[in-house]
Structure 1
Amino acid sequence: MKRKIILCLSIAFMIFMTTLFVFYLIKDDTSNWQVALGGIIVSALPLLLLRLKNNPFNIPQILGYFLFLFCSTYLGSIALFYLHHKWWDSTLHFYKGAYVGVIAITLFKILVPSQNREDVSRWVLFLFVLSLGASASVFWEIYEFLGDLTFTHTMQRGGNTDTMYDLLCGLAGGLLIALYSLVRKQQV
């Protein structure tokens, strides 16, 4: 079932972004065709999971990835939600921090054998989840900075203030899931 969902969503999103890419390329809208091209690439990434014998990510995590792609690439950049809704950017950074926190829990389950999980301190899990959520925010801000230097000049319009809000929101999302993992370690 997961394979079909990944295949269907990846192909559908790639077709959607390819259509936008061609449309904005014909219109000579450089900023939007670049976003659409990026959307094609990131929507193809889940296809790599099809090569795994046992995909460790569950269906809600897969759907969450595509939800983030749609909200950030299409709604955020192309439909200009980042410009028209001040809360949009912060909300996505919070979501990203929480989403990466959930992925961190999955990675914990992959990396730590089930018979050894009881021996791992709940604080180690907490720090692992929080660190991945915070790191994702840092890498995203580096991506925005480099993107503005080389391509669009639109991702960091708010400057340092925007960057700090984004980092804090991403950290808050990661902290929420880290606290969940701290309290519910036995069920994780």
Structure 2
Amino acid sequence: MKRGEQVKRKIIITLSILFSLWMIGLFIFYLMKHDHTRWQVALGGILISLPPLSLLKMKKNPFNIPIIISYYLFLFCSLYLGSISSFYLRYLWWDSTLHFLKGMFVGFVGISLYKHWIPKQSQSNVSVGILFLFVLSLAVSSGVLWEIYEYVGDLTLTHTMQRGGNTDTMEDLLCGLGGGFVAAVYSLFRKKRI
């Protein structure tokens, strides 16, 4: 195994374990305080911190270290700061900013997947327009799926995810589109070097 892959493995294992242990601690703390909203968020944090471990089974992990670290940073900002520490309620710009950053993040994930899935010899034959649309559509699709998740969550559990109704949904989608657009434009310049 190459040195870079070993470093990625160590980072994934370390961040997964640390984040899930921290969320387990928060889960127990808020469960004992009977704070049902926060213990549910912490429980979700435990579950969502573990999927990157599945990357360890891959022969070649398509994601670079900044993407892996960004994943956990995003979880920290959305789950802990946003929900548990109530940044979503205190700072009106917090939700929109995270949706913008999520759009960028998913766009960069799309660029990594493109580099992983498309053989090197075929990459020069893929037009920049197709790459642009792939990155942008992946970011937009993730935003749509997230809004469906929020809608279903409000129907079944929390009633707090879409406080602004349709306005919140549209602002979130536009911010995600903006972030995805930034990543897609970056892919145009990056295509020359891919």
TM-score w.r.t. the length of structure 2 is 0.95
1:46 aligns with 2:67: no
Distance across 1 between alignment mates of 2:55 and 2:118: 20
- 5 Å-filtered alignment, 1:103-142, equals 103-142=109-148
Q: By how many angstroms is 1:150 displaced?
A: 1.1
Distance across 1 between alignment mates of 2:177 and 2:39: 31
Distance across 2 between alignment mates of 1:148 and 1:31: 12
Q: Which residue of 1 aligns with 2:104?
A: 98
Distance across 2 between alignment mates of 1:116 and 1:99: 25
Q: By how many angstroms is 1:181 displaced?
A: 1.1
Distance across 2 between alignment mates of 1:49 and 1:184: 24
Q: By how many angstroms is 1:101 displaced?
A: 0.3
Q: Which residue of 2 aligns with 1:64?
A: 70
- 5 Å-filtered alignment, 1:1-188, equals 1-188=7-194
Aligned with 1:119: secondary structure?
coil
Q: 5+ unaligned residues in a row in structure 1: which ranges?
A: none
Which range moved further: 177-186 or 54-63?
177-186
Of all paired residues, the percent bearing the same amino acid is: 63
Q: By how many angstroms is 1:184 displaced?
A: 3.0
TM-score w.r.t. the length of structure 1 is 0.98
The C-alpha deviation readout for 1:87-127, integer Å capped at 9, x for no partner, is 00000000000000000001111111100011111000000
Distance across 2 between alignment mates of 1:32 and 1:146: 18
Q: 5+ unaligned residues in a row in structure 2: which ranges?
A: 1-6
Distance across 1 between alignment mates of 2:30 and 2:68: 28
> Post-superposition, which runs of at least 4 consecutive aligned residues in structure 1 deviate over 2 A?
none
One-letter amino acid matched to 1:103: V
Distance across 2 between alignment mates of 1:184 and 1:53: 25
Distance across 2 between alignment mates of 1:108 and 1:55: 13
Q: By how many angstroms is 1:55 displaced?
A: 1.1
Q: By how many angstroms is 1:183 displaced?
A: 2.9
